[in-house]
Amino acid sequence: MKRKKIAIVFAAMSLMLMTGCGAQKEKLKADTPVEKEFSEVSVHDPSIIEGEDGSYYIFGSHLAVAKTEDLMNWTYVNQGVKNNNTVIPNVLKEMKEAFEWSQSNTFWAPDVIKLNDGSYKLYYCNCKGDSPLSCLGTAVSDSVEGPYSNEGIMLKSGMSASEKDEDGNLYQATTDPNVVDPVVFYDKEGKLWMIYGSYSGGIFVKEMDAESGMPLESGYGEKLLGGNHLRIEAPYVIYNEETGYYYMFLSFGGLDSDGGYNIRVCRSENPNGPYVDSMGQDMKDCKGPAGSAFSDATAEQYGTKLMGGYKFTWKEGEEGEDRKGYLSPGHNSCLYQEETGKYFIIYHTRFENSGETHEVRVHQMFFNEEGWPVIAPYRYTEESAEKLESKQLVGTYKYINHGRDISPDMKESEELVLNKNNTISGALEGTWELSGDYNITIKTDEAEYKGIALKQWDEDGKKYVMTFTALDSKSGVVIWGSGLNAID
């Protein structure tokens, strides 16, 4: 486990004592740091669940499991597929059938849910990797940490041309699912659903028995989107009672540092769809052209892109000159914290000039005036959205437009100024307005971005700054801003 130290900053000097460029430098930097810590973990494809004691657990690929009490400091519960671990103690023997079928020796992205009877159901999956030869099964425990006992395989995919699926049909990779990446959730009526899939034939949904957690019917279920091997995977669904929508988050692109992984969202009034993006497009139409494979040019037209690779570039006078941008953030889960009313998005990310090293990140998430989620630009440090005044937003920002592309390139920040007269200059031209407690609207000739403004901790710059995150629903594009100067 690696620890990173950050600072909480309190202003200690009056600007009246500063002069010239020295004053600007002092405004950019922290004055009196008080140290605070993050504890980092590497859990790929983190799926979050609350435990019995109020702690939160993330379950990821390769049987990596970690827990936290504050969503900032994580400790490992297990790392790696090996016997005598606490999650599945006799894993090599218990999961022999799954390993043999998938021709694999590891697990891919799992999900864990607490059923109505109080037991915990682990939905695991195994995949060969270079083909959709996969299986999806369940294990059960009385405790979220385990030990889990295998119940067996429920779905298989990737059969050869001579083998038939459970419905007696020959498996077709371009139309049938790769049975991995499950998310299982109760809807507002108490029904249980599983959504799953990666590349291949797309993302599918199946209704499950609300008590046992097992499928009600055989077969793969109903297709929600995808086909012809579009690079779309990692579905995760969360319901927002205030908006009345189910939000399905998806990862588009490839998970490697140069794969262009990015997080997108669509929503539906029903857990089993149809799901639409903010542009009004039915996600069922999101499928590759006949005879194609990995058509990113097709995929990137769909789904509201919330974030991709990015970097808030260093400016002279700031801390953190050696900062690293984020690459291929994705495969997220989400959390609604009832006691605080906060929403969070939990994902893994790779970093600039760091190979395939990855870590977990947690950001607070908000829903804008149009009922679409937007992600806070910086990782969570126990901040809350508070009532703001317009004068607090005036200033120079590092501006990022996440665009709609699937690209290995980071979006590097440009300079944007929110002027006192509510005009915008720099990277954009237009107007800005603060409404309600913290809702922000940024208008240009081409777009109208709606989101929220929030005071956040800039980890690299070691200072508190004003930030904003906003979405233009018609184009499905999100923009972020990070204030250049430190604030109290």
Cα–Cα separations (whole angstroms), residue 68 to 39, 49, 53, 480 = 9, 11, 11, 27
Burial of 241 (0-12, 13-18, 19+ CB in 10 A): exposed
Q: Catalytic pick from 26, 45, 181, 459?
A: 45
**Using DSSP, how many helices (H) and how many strands (E) does the chain show?**
4, 32
φ, ψ of residue 24 in degrees (nearest 5): -60, -40
Q: Do strands 411-412 and 414-418 pair parallel, antiparallel, or not at all (unpaired)?
A: unpaired
Is 318 designated active site?
Answer: no
Is 222 designated active site?
Answer: no
Q: Do strands 373-375 and 395-401 pair parallel, antiparallel, or not at all (unpaired)?
A: unpaired
Q: Catalytic pick from 233, 318, 319, 460?
A: 233
What is the per-residue DSSP string for 138-198? EEEESSTT---EEEEEEEEE---TT-B-TTSPBP-TTTSPP----EEEE-TTS-EEEEE-B
Q: Which ranges in 9-90 belong to alpha helices (H)?
A: 20-28
Q: Do strands 411-412 and 203-208 pair parallel, antiparallel, or not at all (unpaired)?
A: unpaired
Task: Evaluate whether 272 touches 193 at the Cβ level (below 8 Å).
Answer: yes
The whole-angstrom distance between residue 124's C-alpha and the CA centroid of its chain comes to 19
* Tokens 């097992």 -> residue: 214
CA-CA distance, 47 to 331, in Å (whole number)?
9
Q: How many CB atoms lie within 10 A of CB 190?
A: 8
φ, ψ of residue 66 in degrees (nearest 5): -140, 165
What is the per-residue DSSP string for 318-372? -S-TT---EEEEEEEEEEEETTTTEEEEEEEEEETTSTT-EEEEEEEEEE-TTS-
Q: Which of 476, 456, 480, 458 is nearest to 468 (CA)?
A: 480
What is the per-residue DSSP string for 192-240? EEEEE-BSTT-EEEEEE-TTT-SBSSSS--EEEE--TT-SEEEEEEEEE
Active-site residue numbers?
45, 233
